[in-house]
Amino acid sequence: MTLDQLRQIMPYAGQRAARYILPLTAAMAEFGIDTPLRQAAFLAQVAHESGSLRYVREIADGSAYEGRADLGNTEPGDGQRFKGRGLIQITGRANYRAASLALFGDEMLLLKHPQLLEEDVPACRSAAWFWWSRGLNTLADTGQFRTITRKINGGFNGYADRLASWERAKGVLA
């Protein structure tokens, strides 16, 4: 993927595209997001989740995640501490622990320093790792975009925007 292609896929990314092109490309290669179908689906989800590379930290304060055992948020303050971060908005103590182990070989690093997912390289790598760890490459290979959206979002929040980005990305990367 080139910088020009990334800008076409995420027309509202502006100068942020230049900032993220190298770490995003490296993260996609690292986690096997290496075909046009996989890249188009991944980048469409990233476009929506990050607001076209604008957000690496969820805007909401995270209180909605407080006490959510399904996210591993079992200690007071976990909702805010482990709110969405990275380009796919990794959320919850359990996901931070898994990402920490996978990306840094230390399950405690992100639990102690969750803000690391706001840095460019970890923001990209965590998104690609999450994608890979949920088997989304296989779903992308068969065009199951709705199922991908549910696995990332838990529902279909912003589905029309995600779908528009996917169609744009498929056209650009074809």
Catalytic residues: 49
User: Which string of DSSP letters, residue by residue, matches 76-116?
Assistant: TTHHHHT--BTTTTB-SHHHHHHHHHHHHS-TTHHHH-GGG
Q: How far apart are CA 158 and CA 149, in angstroms?
A: 9
Task: Using CB atoms within 10 Å of the CB of residue 148, give its burial: 0 to 12 exposed, 13 to 18 middle, 19+ buried.
Answer: buried
Q: What is the DSSP string of 152-170?
A: HHSS-TTHHHHHHHHHHHH
Query: How far is 33 from 64, CA to CA, in rounded Å?
Result: 31
Place of tokens 């997001």: 33
At 6, the amino acid letter reads: L
